[in-house]
Structure 1
Amino acid sequence: MYLADRSTPQGTTGSAPDRVRGTVRAVSPTVLALGTVSLITDVSSEMVTAVLPLYLVVGLGLSPLGFGMLDGVQNGVSALVQLTGGHLADRVRNHKLIAGIGYGLSALCKPLLLVHNLGALGTALALDRTGKGLRTAPRDALISLSAPPERQGRAFGVHRAMDTTGALLGPILAFLILGVAAGGYDAVFAVSGCVAALGVLVLLLFVPGGRTAPAPASAEGAASPSREARVDLRAAFGLLRTRRLRALFACAVLLGLTTVSDAFLYLLVQRRTGIDEQLFPLLPLGTATVFLLLALPAGRLADRVGRRVVFLAGHAGLLLAYALLLWAPGTPALPWLVLVLHGVFYAATDGVLPAAVAAVVPERLRASGIALVGTGQALARFCCSLAFGAAWAAWGDGPALAGAAVGLACCAAVAGAALRPTGDPR
C-alpha cells in the first residue's frame, strides 16, 4: 500500500458495528504515555532550538555557511544513528529499552551547552541528535504496534499533537527565562536539562515495555522459520526490494533534498520581515500552534482519503511559504502566513509518513523499516542544509530560497507520480 492507502485494508474482517465501535474507542495507553514523554522532551529541546540560531549567528558570530554546516551535521548524525536505533530495537525485541537510551543520552548532554565555545556546543548538539536518532524509530514502532492498521494515522496524529504541545511550550518558556533570568542563555540551557531528565523519568515509569516475543512465522515462511525470524541489517535493507517501501524511501529522500531546515526558515522570516531579535524565540510558536491544531485532523484525514493526498498537500503548503518569502516580503501578515503554512506542512507529513511505512513492513522489522525511510530523509535534509548555507553565503538568501523553491516544485511533481497507487503490491 502506498501513501494512497485508505483506512481499511483489503481482507479486513468483522462486522460493520464492530468497526464503528472501533472508530470511537480511545487511543491506546501506550500512545498517550509516549505522547506525554515526547511533550516533556520537546519542551526541553525546543527551548534550546528557539534560541540557538540567534545565539550562534548573533551571539557567537557564526556565518550562514558555518551555521548551515552545523545544522547539517546535526541532521546527519541523527540520520546515521536512526537506522542503528531501529535495527537494535528489532534485534533485541525491546523498543522501550532503545528509546529510553536515546532519551537519556539527550538529557545527559545538556550540561555541555553551558560551555561557551563552538567545540563543546557542537559536541552537545551531536550527542543530542544521537539520542534523537536512537529513540525515533523505536518510539514510532511502539506507536504503530499499539494501533490497528486502519487507525495508524489517528495514533500518530495524537502523538504528534502531544509532541507539538511541548514544541509550543518550549519557546514560551525560553522567552520568559530570557526576560527574567540574569544568566540569559545559560539559564535556558540549565532549565532545559532538568526538563529533559523529567521526560526520561516519565518514560521509565509509565510507558509499558519489555522484551517482546518473536513474531510467528507466516504461512509463506513456514518452510523456513529461521529466515522468517531473522532480524539483521541485510533483512532491513532487503525491505527496499519491496516496490511499495522503495517508492516511499525514494520520495522521502527526494523531497528532503529541497526542505529547508526550520532554523533557516526562521532566520529567513526574521531577516526578510525585520522582526525584532527579542521576538525571534517566539517564531516557532506559530508553526507549533498550527501543527498542534491540525496533527490529529490530518492523521484522520489521511486514514480516510489516502496518505498520498495529504502528504503531497503538506509539501504544497511548504512551497507556498517559500513563494511568499520570495515575492511578498513587504506584506504585513507575511510572518504569520509563512508560519501557518509551515505548521500545515508538518501536520500533513510528520505523522503520515511513518504511518504509511508501518503499513508496508512486517512487525518484526517495523522499527527498521521506519528508521530506513527516516534515515534517508534526514540525510537528504543534511545535504539540503549544507547546500542552502553555501548558496546563502555565496549569492544571498533570496537566490538560495528561489533554488529551493524550484527544486521542491520539481521533486513534488515526481513524488506525486511515483506514489500513485498501482494494482501490483510488490
Structure 2
Amino acid sequence: MEIGEKDKPERKILGISWNVFLLGIVSFLNDMSSEMIAPIMPSYLIEVLDAGKLLSGSVMGAIESMSSLFKVAFGYVSDRFRKRKAFVFAGYALSTLAKGALAFTRYWWDFLSLRALDRIGKGIRTAPRDALIAESTEKGKTGKSFGFHRMMDTLGAVAGPLVAIAIIELLRGLPKETMYRYVFLLSAIPGLLSLFVIILFVKDRGSEVKKKIKGISTLRSRNLQLFLAVVAVGALGRYSYAFTMWKAQELGYTVVQSIAFYALFNLIYALSAYPIGTYSDSFGKKRIIAIGFGVAALASLAFAYARNLPTLIGAFVLYGIYIAIEDTIPRAYMADLAREYEKGTIIGAYHTVFGVFVFPASVIAGWLWQSYSLTHAFLFASLMNFVALGLMALVRE
C-alpha cells in the first residue's frame, strides 16, 4: 500500500481536521437552504396543492425515504474510485437546483418529482461525504467529528426557518402562495454558496489502496446485521418532522408559530449533537444509540398527549435530543466498524436500511392520522422505539 493523502499531516481547527470543518460549513449552508423550505412544505401541500392527509403523509414519507435508496450504491462506487469529492459536489448541486425549482410547482406530483430529485442528490452525496469525514478523522475520534458535522448541519437548520420567517414577514401583504414561492426561489442562494466551498477548499482524503482487496466484508458480520435490523425497527417509529408541525397547528398555532417550534427543535439538536458525539467516543456508541431510542419513545408520548404549551415545548426538546443522537452516533458507529476500503459501502448500507423503513413509518402515521387521530400516529411511533430499545440489548458493543 502506498502512502495516500490521508497519511499527510492536516491542519486542525477546534480540535478537528480542516476538511471536517469545511464539510461542516458546506452542511450549514445547504441545511439553511433546505430548512428555509422544510417548515412551509406541510402547509404548502395541504393549502396550496390541496393534497389530503394520507397523501400528504405519504408524500413526506416518500421524500424522507427516497434518498436512502441511493446511498449504499454511491457509497460503494466512491469506495471503488477512492474519490469522494466529485460525488459530494454532484449531490449538493442536484439538490440546490431542485429546491429552487419548487417555486414553479403547480401540482402535488411535480412537487414530489422535484423533492425526489433533491433526495436523489442527498443519496448521491451522503455516504461519500460521511466516508470522507471518517477518512479525515484520527482513530477514536469519529464521534467528535460526526457530532461537529451534525451540529453545523443543524445550526443551518436553525437559521433556515428564521430566514423563512423573515421573508414571510417582509412579504406579508402578498398572497400566501406567492410568499411560499419566493421562499423556495431564495433557498437556492445558500446552496450555491456551499458549492463554491466544495470546489475551492474541500479535499479528497481517501487512501490509495493498491493491493487487491480480499477478505470478508463487514456486512457479513451477524452483529452488524442485527444492528441493522434494530435500525429498521426504530425507523418505523421515525415519522416525518411534518407530523410535529401538524400537531402544533392542530393545537391552534399558526404556520409562523409552528415554524418557531421547528426552529426550537433544531436549536436543541444543534446544541446536543457535538457534546453527545464527543461523549460517545468514551462512553460507548451502542449505549448512546439505545438511550436515543428511549428518548424517541418519550418524545412521541409527549406529542401524543400534548394539550398545552409546556408539554408541546417539552416534546420538541425531546425530539431534538433524539434526532441529535440518532442522526449522529449510528454514522460514527458504522464508520468504526467498517474496514478502510469499504467505509462508503458500510455507511451507505446503514442509510439505505434506515431510509427503506422510514417511508412506511410516515405512511402508517398518515393512515392512523386520517383514520383515527394524530395521537394514534405518535403512540405507534413510541411503541416501535420501545421495541428497538429492547432489541439493542442483543447487540454487542
TM-score scaled by structure 2?
Answer: 0.91
**Residues 289 and 326 in structure 2, CA contact (< 8 A), matched pair in contact too:** yes
Residue of structure 2 equivalent to 1:148 = 138
The residue type paired with residue 226 of structure 2 is A
Quote how far apart the aligned CAs of 1:370 are. Answer: 0.1
Is it true that 1:305 corresponds to 2:283 in the alignment? yes
Of the three residues 183, 191, 198, the one matched with 1:196 is: 191
The residue type paired with residue 99 of structure 2 is K
Range moving further from structure 2, 374-383 or 318-327: 318-327
**Residues 258 and 384 in structure 1, CA contact (< 8 A), matched pair in contact too:** yes
Of the three residues 253, 258, 267, the one matched with 1:275 is: 253
Residue of structure 2 equivalent to 1:419 = 395
Range moving further from structure 2, 139-148 or 30-39: 139-148
Quote how far apart the aligned CAs of 1:403 are. Answer: 2.2
Query: For the residues of structure 1 that align with 2:194 and 2:213, how far apart are their CA atoms?
Result: 38
**Residues 88 and 98 in structure 1, CA contact (< 8 A), matched pair in contact too:** no
Residue of structure 2 equivalent to 1:33 = 22
Of the three residues 304, 312, 316, the one matched with 1:326 is: 304
**Residues 291 and 389 in structure 2, CA contact (< 8 A), matched pair in contact too:** no
**Residues 311 and 349 in structure 1, CA contact (< 8 A), matched pair in contact too:** yes
Larger radius of gyration: 1
The residue type paired with residue 131 of structure 1 is G
Of the three residues 63, 72, 79, the one matched with 1:74 is: 63
Residue of structure 2 equivalent to 1:161 = 151
Is it true that 1:206 corresponds to 2:201 in the alignment? yes
**Residues 61 and 239 in structure 2, CA contact (< 8 A), matched pair in contact too:** no
Quote how far apart the aligned CAs of 1:249 are. Answer: 1.4
Quote how far apart the aligned CAs of 1:281 are. Answer: 2.0
Residue of structure 2 equivalent to 1:11 = none
Quote how far apart the aligned CAs of 1:411 are. Answer: 2.5
Residue of structure 1 equivalent to 2:220 = 241
The residue type paired with residue 25 of structure 2 is T
Query: For the residues of structure 2 that align with 1:81 and 1:195, how far apart are their CA atoms?
Result: 24
Residue of structure 1 equivalent to 2:335 = 358
The residue type paired with residue 227 of structure 2 is L
Quote how far apart the aligned CAs of 1:390 are. Answer: 1.6
Query: For the residues of structure 2 that align with 1:24 and 1:56, how far apart are their CA atoms?
Result: 42
Query: For the residues of structure 1 that align with 2:14 and 2:237, how far apart are their CA atoms?
Result: 39
Is it true that 1:388 corresponds to 2:356 in the alignment? no
Is it true that 1:83 corresponds to 2:72 in the alignment? yes
**Residues 304 and 374 in structure 2, CA contact (< 8 A), matched pair in contact too:** no
| Deviation sequence 1:102-139 (CA, Å, 0-9, x none) | 00111122342122222221111000000011111111
Over 4 Å off, 4+ runs: none
Query: For the residues of structure 2 that align with 1:403 and 1:387, how far apart are their CA atoms?
Result: 9
Of the three residues 36, 52, 58, the one matched with 1:47 is: 36
Quote how far apart the aligned CAs of 1:374 are. Answer: 0.8
RMSD between aligned residues: 1.9
**Residues 310 and 348 in structure 1, CA contact (< 8 A), matched pair in contact too:** yes
Quote how far apart the aligned CAs of 1:215 are. Answer: 2.6
5+ long unaligned stretches in structure 2 = 1-11
Range moving further from structure 2, 34-43 or 87-96: 87-96
**Residues 100 and 200 in structure 1, CA contact (< 8 A), matched pair in contact too:** yes
Residue of structure 2 equivalent to 1:61 = 50
The residue type paired with residue 214 of structure 1 is E
5+ long unaligned stretches in structure 1 = 1-22, 218-224, 229-234, 422-426
Residue of structure 2 equivalent to 1:109 = 98
**Residues 140 and 354 in structure 1, CA contact (< 8 A), matched pair in contact too:** yes
The residue type paired with residue 344 of structure 2 is A
Query: For the residues of structure 2 that align with 1:330 and 1:264, how far apart are their CA atoms?
Result: 15
Is it true that 1:369 corresponds to 2:346 in the alignment? yes
**Residues 90 and 367 in structure 1, CA contact (< 8 A), matched pair in contact too:** yes
Residue of structure 2 equivalent to 1:19 = none
**Residues 162 and 292 in structure 1, CA contact (< 8 A), matched pair in contact too:** yes
Residue of structure 1 equivalent to 2:274 = 296
Q: Summarize the Cα distance change of 1:305–1:117 in structure 2 as closer, same or farther, 3 Å threshold.
A: same
| Deviation sequence 1:236-278 (CA, Å, 0-9, x none) | xx5321133223312211110121221112212331x321233
Quote how far apart the aligned CAs of 1:39 are. Answer: 0.2
SS of 1:109's equivalent in the other structure is: helix
Q: Summarize the Cα distance change of 1:65–1:251 in structure 2 as closer, same or farther, 3 Å threshold.
A: same
Is it true that 1:251 corresponds to 2:230 in the alignment? yes
Query: For the residues of structure 2 that align with 1:41 and 1:216, how far apart are their CA atoms?
Result: 35
Query: For the residues of structure 1 that align with 2:50 and 2:155, how far apart are their CA atoms?
Result: 32
| Deviation sequence 1:7-49 (CA, Å, 0-9, x none) | xxxxxxxxxxxxxxxx997200010000000000000001111
Q: How many positions carry a matched residue from both structures?
A: 380
Quote how far apart the aligned CAs of 1:339 are. Answer: 1.1
Range moving further from structure 2, 289-298 or 274-283: 274-283
SS of 2:102's equivalent in the other structure is: helix
Quote how far apart the aligned CAs of 1:93 are. Answer: 1.2
Of the three residues 321, 324, 328, the one matched with 1:344 is: 321
User: Identity of aligned pairs, percent?
Assistant: 29
Quote how far apart the aligned CAs of 1:213 are. Answer: 4.7
TM-score scaled by structure 1?
Answer: 0.85
| Deviation sequence 1:187-215 (CA, Å, 0-9, x none) | 101110122111111111111127x4533
| Deviation sequence 1:350-373 (CA, Å, 0-9, x none) | 111010001111111101100001
Is it true that 1:127 corresponds to 2:117 in the alignment? yes
